[in-house]
């Protein structure tokens, strides 16, 4: 087959952004020069959750997991010398998606771009934030309104933009089975399309344009056949739903359009070189099948379980895509799985089971009702607990973790401190100083402070009424309003929302059968409670800062509950002050802190210091998360009793260690519980 007859490759992206807008801009330009064909912007947690860098909750989080964007000046720097009219940009942003799109549009206008030609995607799927990622801000109703208004605006003004990227990626990371991933994502799409249709902002005859701009962002795991069948099932259900529920006749509008990030959850800290073949296998699941091929692919780096990847690590992942697309003959053939009985049987099974779960959600009143009731979250927590139990028992094997653990020294990680990229703690101080300077000088032309105040008042007025919020948001962007001010104005009107944790209602995943590891830990918990003269040991699980990745914290909380602890878990996004206040009020015997965003170096010592000031030195503090070895040593030196990272997959063993630390902190003799 001649070269010109080949299919076009998918968009190749690297999820990137860190430190500052200037540093991220330099990274983007380097990546584009290496052959990357689209940008994928990672924003830091304050930006994602609507806080400025000097907010108390932003401490330790600025520039950690993405780039901080506080105002129009930051967005200008982020895309300096990158022509937005000719760039396809994906922005992983949800609660504040409208705000970031407004900043992006204004920068494009300043570049002289025709905004009707802007191409890209805003993730903008708030439902999965309540369930897995945790960067939600507003309650479900107002959040859906923001999404609806943004979709209606883009259909008229940015017709090539994908205003929502319904994202099942994080659902799989939170434990979703393929059936749950399909069902929950499709139920979210139905809620969004129903809201747009019923808002009256888009004429019925233009609903095809709305459906045609809905895209999806999925997760591809290592179970290649199942994952590839999942994508075919997604496409089949989407085609049926859009035709039957919304009357979309044009097959181009009904096409299932998706991008993919292959599974970071499956990457291991142990023997991290194995992550390369995992990434390749996961990528094949979404590229080999022409009839269900991803439109855009971004791959994590081999060392993502260790910390922030370096530019070289991201280049390696980009080259993996390029070798497949340009060296292999993959793009020269029609669908190579067409007619396979094995594939068709599995697809039919997934379709039937997903439709059944979608009907169950519909009977509850739709996906928002299922979120608010806690049903969806408890199902995910339970599914994740079952998976962890299979790993701990050895039923589900992970090479290098619970199977084939013997290894030669790894030259890639011989010096762990240089195997990942670190963010200079001084970056936060510089970002905060620049933010304050922006606030002080924005009264100068073309901005002025009174104009900012009136723009925010207009935004609040629109939020109290029924006007589309995009125009008021654009005015805020143009006059120099900050991210925290925009979100703060909407918080005043909409309020905030704390999503259900799913912990209390999650069923037992590991039974405490006689002679089992959990039975021994339960006995240790009982004996320690007796020795301390209390009815039950109390354990606080805390999520300090803005990190919303709560899967690990939830699994620890559920297993501690099953081991006989009384567990205090208030969910995500707490300050060190709030965590210590809760520990003292609940008279807990241990505190566990889960941090995956890299802010552990600042937030964990803060909790330790506050406990010391309160005189609660007998409460051991345990830390868990993606914590480099040098940081782990520093935390232990600061007084942390134990540090656990992703390589520590034995949750029951972790709970046993926590009991041991409680005994040590209270000067009790070590406990030997017979097997």
Catalytic position from the list 547, 562, 606, 631: 547
The residue with tokens 């104005």 is 489
Catalytic position from the list 153, 169, 184, 258: 169
Catalytic position from the list 128, 253, 384, 543: 543
* 135 vs 131: CA distance, rounded Å: 10
Pick from 281, 104, 253, 126: nearest CA to 192: 126
Dihedral sign from CA coordinates of 385, 391, 397, 400: positive
Dihedral sign from CA coordinates of 76, 77, 79, 85: positive
* 275 vs 302: CA distance, rounded Å: 5
Q: What does 610-663 look like in DSSP terms, one character per residue?
A: HHHHTT-TTS-EEEEES--HHHHHHHHHHT-SEEE-TT---HHHHHHHHHHHHH
Q: Is 209 a catalytic residue?
A: no
What are the residues facing 399 on neighbouring strands?
A: 403
Q: Which two tokens stand for residue 264?
A: 């970071």
Q: Is 15 a catalytic residue?
A: yes
Between 274-284 and 224-244, two packed helices, what is the crossing angle to 10 degrees? Answer: 40
Catalytic position from the list 549, 562, 600, 606: 549
Sheet holding 258-262, edge to edge: 11-13, 296-298, 258-262, 214-220, 164-167
Q: Is 18 a catalytic residue?
A: no
The b/e string for 303-312 (b: 16+ C-beta within 10 A; e otherwise) is: bbbbbbbbbe
Catalytic position from the list 136, 170, 230, 346: 170
Count Cβ atoms below 10 Å from residue 94 Cβ, excluding itself: 28
The alpha helices in 158-301, defined as continuous H runs, are 169-173, 178-199, 207-212, 224-244, 274-284
Q: Is 170 a catalytic residue?
A: yes
Q: Is 549 a catalytic residue?
A: yes
Dihedral sign from CA coordinates of 257, 207, 238, 150: positive
Catalytic position from the list 15, 28, 51, 246: 15
Peptide bond into 16 cis (omega under 30): no
**Is-contact 64 115, C-beta < 8 A?**
no
275 alpha carbon, distance to own chain's centre: 20
Active site residues: 15, 169-170, 543, 547, 549
């Amino acid at each position: 087959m001649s070269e010109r007859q080949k299919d076009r490759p998918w968009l190749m992206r690297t999820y990137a952004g860190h430190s500052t807008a200037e540093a991220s801009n330099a990274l983007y330009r380097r990546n584009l020069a290496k052959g990357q064909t689209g940008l994928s912007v990672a924003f830091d947690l304050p930006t994602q959750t609507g806080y400025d860098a000097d907010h108390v909750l932003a401490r330790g989080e600025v520039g950690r997991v993405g780039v901080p964007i506080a105002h129009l000046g930051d967005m200008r720097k982020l895309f300096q010398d990158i022509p937005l009219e000719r760039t396809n940009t994906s922005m992983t942003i949800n609660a504040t998606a409208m705000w970031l799109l407004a900043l992006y549009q204004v920068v494009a206008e300043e570049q002289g771009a025709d905004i009707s030609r802007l191409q890209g995607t805003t993730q903008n799927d708030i439902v999965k934030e309540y369930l897995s990622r945790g960067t939600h801000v507003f309650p479900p109703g107002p959040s859906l309104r923001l999404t609806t208004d943004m979709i209606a605006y883009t259909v008229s003004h940015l017709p090539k933009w994908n205003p929502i990227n319904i994202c099942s990626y994080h659902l799989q990371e939170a434990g979703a089975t393929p059936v749950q991933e399909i069902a929950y994502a499709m139920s979210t799409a139905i809620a969004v399309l129903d809201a747009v249709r019923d808002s009256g902002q888009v004429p019925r005859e233009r609903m095809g344009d709305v459906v045609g701009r809905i895209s999806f962002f999925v997760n591809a795991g290592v179970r290649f056949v199942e994952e590839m069948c999942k994508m075919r099932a997604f496409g089949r259900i989407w085609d049926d739903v859009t035709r039957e529920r919304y009357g979309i006749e044009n097959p181009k509008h009904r096409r299932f359009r998706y991008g993919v990030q292959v599974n970071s959850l499956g990457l291991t800290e142990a023997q991290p070189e194995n992550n390369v073949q995992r990434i390749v296998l996961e990528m094949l699941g979404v590229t080999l099948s022409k009839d269900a091929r991803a439109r855009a692919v971004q791959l994590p780096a081999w060392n993502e379980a260790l910390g922030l990847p370096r530019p070289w690590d991201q280049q390696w992942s980009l080259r993996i895509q390029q070798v497949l697309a340009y060296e292999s003959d993959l793009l020269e053939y029609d669908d190579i799985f067409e007619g396979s009985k094995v594939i068709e049987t599995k697809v039919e099974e997934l379709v039937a089971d997903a439709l059944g779960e979608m009907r169950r959600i519909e009977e509850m009143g739709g996906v928002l009702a299922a979120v608010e009731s806690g049903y969806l979250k408890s199902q995910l927590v339970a599914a994740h607990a079952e998976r962890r139990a299979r790993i701990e028992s050895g039923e589900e094997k992970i090479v290098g973790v619970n199977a084939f653990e013997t290894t030669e020294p790894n030259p890639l990680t011989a010096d762990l401190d240089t195997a990942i990229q670190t963010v200079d703690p001084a970056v936060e101080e510089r970002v905060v100083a620049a933010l304050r300077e922006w606030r002080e000088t924005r009264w100068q032309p073309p901005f002025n402070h009174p104009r900012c105040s009136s723009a925010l008042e207009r935004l609040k007025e629109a939020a109290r009424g029924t006007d589309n919020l995009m125009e008021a948001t654009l005015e805020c962007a143009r006059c120099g309003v900050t991210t925290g001010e925009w979100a703060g104005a909407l918080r005043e009107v909409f309020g905030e929302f704390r999503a259900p944790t799913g912990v209390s209602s999650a069923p037992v995943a590991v039974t405490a059968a006689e002679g089992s590891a959990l039975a021994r830990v339960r006995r240790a918990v009982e004996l320690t409670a007796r020795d301390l003269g209390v009815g039950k040991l109390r354990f606080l699980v805390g999520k300090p800062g803005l990190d919303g990745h709560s899967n690990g914290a939830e699994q620890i909380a559920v297993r501690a509950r099953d081991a006989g602890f009384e567990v205090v878990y208030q969910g995500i996004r707490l300050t060190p002050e709030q965590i210590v206040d809760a520990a003292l009020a609940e008279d807990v015997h241990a505190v566990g802190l889960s941090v995956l965003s890299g802010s552990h170096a600042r937030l964990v010592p803060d909790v330790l210091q506050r406990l010391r000031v309160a005189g609660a030195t007998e409460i051991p503090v345990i830390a868990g998360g993606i914590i480099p070895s040098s940081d782990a040593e520093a935390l232990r030196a600061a007084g942390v009793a134990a540090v656990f990272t992703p390589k520590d997959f034995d949750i029951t063993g972790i709970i046993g260690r926590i009991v041991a630390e409680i005994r040590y902190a209270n000067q009790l003799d070590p406990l030997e519980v017979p097997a």
